Amino acid sequence: MNDGTVTHTRVFSAPRELVFRCLLTPEHLTRFWGPAGMSAPLDGITVDPRPGGVFETVMVADDGTSHYTMRAIFDEILEPERIAWTELGSGLRSVSTFTDLGDGRTEVTIVQSNMPKAFLTPKAQAGFRTSLDKLETYLRAVPAAPA
């Protein structure tokens, strides 16, 4: 039986500082945030990267038929090691840890707890993994220099 906790681990061929920055910078987030078939317009992203700060995204279906707003409060920002937030409304908590593998690669482990049942379905989990695919593709294209 699933207790509402899911863990995703992915290794990215990018330095830890860059991967960390991509998850906190609207200009980066707009390029990959959301599952396949969704986009996150820059004007719909708010990031105040500090404990108690707001994290909000509006994801829009590529065909324009629907949108989804995610509103969260940052619980912890430990640069460049950890980002944690809790979604308002659902109570879903997401903790991302960034491990420097020492060779220009970064392992990211995302533990999501208190997940609503709808987010635990195989389809929803597959959708989440496509957002990690989009991040991987983006990281291949973005220069490692500070943004």
Q: What confidence tens digit (pLDDT) does each residue in 116-129 have?
A: 888 888 888 888 89
Domain ranges, ordered by start, for the chain? 6-141
Both tokens of 4, joined, read 């509402």
- How far from 110 is each of 61, 73, 107, 127, 139, CA to CA, in Å? 24, 16, 10, 15, 17
What pTM was computed for the model?
A: 0.91
126 vs 29, more confident: 29
Q: What confidence tens digit (pLDDT) does each residue in 35-74 have?
A: 999 999 999 999 999 999 999 999 999 998 999 999 999 9
CATH class assigned to 6-141? alpha beta
pLDDT above 50 (res 1): no
